[in-house]
Amino acid sequence: MCGITGYIGFRDAYPIIINGLRRLEYRGYDSAGIVLYNEGKLNLVKTKGKVSDLESKVANSIETGGTLGMGHTRWATHGIPNDINSHPHVSQSGNIVMVHNGIIENYDTLKKELVNRGYTFQSDTDTEVLVNLIEEVQKQNDVKLGKAVQIALNEVVGAYAIAVFDQRKPDEIVVARLGSPLAIGIGKDQLEYFVASDASPFIEYTKDAIYLEDEEMAVIRLGRKVKIRKIKDDSLVDANVHELKLNLEQIEKGGYEHFMLKEIYQQPSAITDTYRGRLLREEAIIKMAGVEDNMKRFLNADRIIIVACGTSWHAGLVAEYIFEDLARIPVEVEYASEFRYRNPIITEKDVVIAISQSGETADTLAAIKLAKSKGAFVFGICNVVGSSIARETHAGAYTHAGPEIGVASTKAFTTQITLLTLIALRLARAKGTISSSDFRQHMLELEMIPKKVEQALKSDEHIQKVAAVFKGATNFLYLGRGYNFPVALEGALKLKEISYIHAEGYPAAEMKHGPIALIDENMPIVVIATNKGHYDKVVSNIQEIKSRKGKIIAIVTEGDETVKDIADYAIEIPETEESLTPLLTTIPLQLLSYHIAVMRGCNVDQPRNLAKAVTVE
């Protein structure tokens, strides 16, 4: 969702901020803005559209000098995407300027009070209310900016990450967070500071960063160490300085046309990174500290509840099959957004697994807090190190997939499944629900998955040809059974979100209960028909589609001639254990969506209306 970046120091702020905004584009946005302070003056430009539109507008309108500034990419919540609603917002006096991520829920009440006090508003945003509230608090109490921000935030209900400065005091930026991430980059000798929604805008300048925790704020002043305070009671908090492991190469396209394609191709190495050091095949051991340390909780669990959203929820569905099959633990998979609001029955004997690539998804975070309040043990599976979900859970494990920048999740999905498989295998071994030989066999197969993904990626050219045939379709159906039913859902989601073609995923056998009515000669149907599991049943489903003239794109195990003969197009994947097939069947579906979207001229990495981390509910 929205992205914040800011700079205060000795360098020209403009290139740092504009590059920072480009790096934050992946978060999803519909407008952008920048403010620079130079020689007693604020230069502010905002526009609907992309960062490139902002750059053109800046080139035609303002001087770009100045060593203090902030930028913002906005994903509209209050007020449509237009120039006026874009950030930064300036207070009525023209002195205080602010960028904000999140939602101020009581903005209407606050706005009415401010209107009664003579404030007028240009935009429809909650942000303009907050910046004016800060100004009013400062006036009423005659306090410094930091104190005014603190008092104002104590009147606010909602979620936010904010960065604020006052042009009358251009040596400081005030930042605060509740529910949206905010990182502070520390320059050498405190001669410069960076502020951003994640560390990507400043990694070439410093490796030292502080991540604000919820309900914390800081006054960042040049030449002074950053002090972190609690917004509620002003108490000082230890500032943990993290050493950033991220490097520039990881957040660049590296020769690929899109981040999504790069990330699809990174899956062999990402999956290896997920199991490295955890899957010790020669010793026949799987170990993960977060699981080992809490083994009793897992083994005594009445059930596992998985909470997640979107693609991560699909990984949870795959995990349901794996946990129940291998470890014989009952599993329920819940949309976090539904779970949090439906008064679920949760007991102290439940283990809740929260899955999230970004670790910032608001609904998943709220579901975790609810589960914790009922005494459940909550285990997090995240990709982003140090993210809110990683910190909020009792224990957890990282997927180590590396930054995922394309909005459509690809390597996050396969690495989540890899990690969940490791956990299921570990628990199965501890519970004795898997034989020693099956355990070894699964480890061996899992270790071979990266090579097999590489092999699956070799079908790319063939998939491009299939994509060219179907790029004009208006609807798609995706069918799969067992372990590959969630993959059908994921395939349909991938296509919808990046190509804007309507697609639905179904368990293959459910087709007869409704969707079969949709089938005619114009309907492409992707069927996952690997030679494991319910192969014969799926072959029957394919026959049923064929008799109704549907166009079949089948994902088959290499060497399968039966389905190849019936299907219009067949894409091969290597053979593996049934429980591991999702790691392979997903690959052609990702590539198919990618190529169709590219051929339709869609913005693959930043699909319309979507955000990488959904930090509002």
Residue with Cβ nearer ligand F6R (151 or 355):
355
Residue with Cβ nearer ligand F6R (336 or 584):
336
Angle between helices 411-431 and 581-599 (to 10 degrees): 170
Per the annotation, the verdict on 309 as an active-site residue is no
Tell me how far apart the alpha carbons of residues 14 and 206 are, in angstroms, rounded to a whole number: 17
Residue with Cβ nearer ligand F6R (192 or 497):
497
Per the annotation, the verdict on 2 as an active-site residue is yes
Stretch 353-392 residues interacting with ligand F6R (CB under 6 A):
356-358, 361, 364
Number of residues that bind ligand F6R (CB under 6 A): 15
Q: Does 312 bind ligand F6R (CB under 6 A)?
A: yes
Residue with Cβ nearer ligand F6R (361 or 557):
361
Q: Does 593 bind ligand F6R (CB under 6 A)?
A: no
Asked whether 379 and 352 are in contact (CB, 8 A), the reply is yes
Task: Give min distance, CB of 386 to ligand F6R, in A.
Answer: 14
User: Would you give the DSSP letter of residue 136?
Assistant: H
Q: Does 614 bind ligand F6R (CB under 6 A)?
A: yes
Question: Using only C-alpha atoms, what is the Rg of the chain?
Answer: 26
Give the number of other CB atoms < 10 A from CB of residue 93: 13
Task: Give min distance, CB of 3 to ligand F6R, in A.
Answer: 15
Q: Does 605 bind ligand F6R (CB under 6 A)?
A: no
Task: Give min distance, CB of 408 to ligand F6R, in A.
Answer: 4
Tell me how far apart the alpha carbons of residues 140 and 307 are, in angstroms, rounded to a whole number: 45
- What's CA 365's distance to the chain center, in Å? 13
DSSP string covering 436-464 = HHHHHHHHHHHHHHHHHHHHHHTTHHHHH
3-class secondary structure, 164:
strand
β-pairing verdict for 41-48 and 31-38: antiparallel
**Which H/E stretch holds residue 110?**
helix 107-116
- What's CA 398's distance to the chain center, in Å? 14
| Residue whose structure tokens are 């149907």 | 525
Catalytic residue among 57, 111, 551, 612: 612
Catalytic residue among 2, 309, 382, 602: 2
Task: Give min distance, CB of 607 to ligand F6R, in A.
Answer: 9
Q: Does 166 bind ligand F6R (CB under 6 A)?
A: no
Task: Give min distance, CB of 502 to ligand F6R, in A.
Answer: 16
Q: Does 418 bind ligand F6R (CB under 6 A)?
A: no
Task: Give min distance, CB of 606 to ligand F6R, in A.
Answer: 12
Tell me how far apart the alpha carbons of residues 418 and 413 are, in angstroms, rounded to a whole number: 9
Tokens of 38: 């130079």
**Which of 328, 340, 326, 371 lies closest to 353 in space, CA to CA?**
371
Q: Is the peptide bond before 450 cis (omega within 30 degrees of 0)?
A: no
Residue with Cβ nearer ligand F6R (30 or 605):
605
Binding string, residues 270-309; x marks residues near ligand F6R by CB under 6 A: ---------------------------------------x
CA dihedral sign, ordered 189, 192, 194, 195 = positive
Q: Does 497 bind ligand F6R (CB under 6 A)?
A: yes
Give the number of other CB atoms < 10 A from CB of residue 347: 11
Task: Give min distance, CB of 417 to ligand F6R, in A.
Answer: 13
Only segment of 180-188, 194-202, 352-360, 535-543 that touches ligand F6R (CB under 6 A)? 352-360
Q: Which residue is nearest to ligand F6R (CB)?
A: 310
Q: Where in the sequence numbering do the catalytic residues fall? A: 2, 612
Q: Which residues bind ligand F6R (CB under 6 A)?
A: 309-312, 356-358, 361, 364, 408-409, 493, 497, 613-614
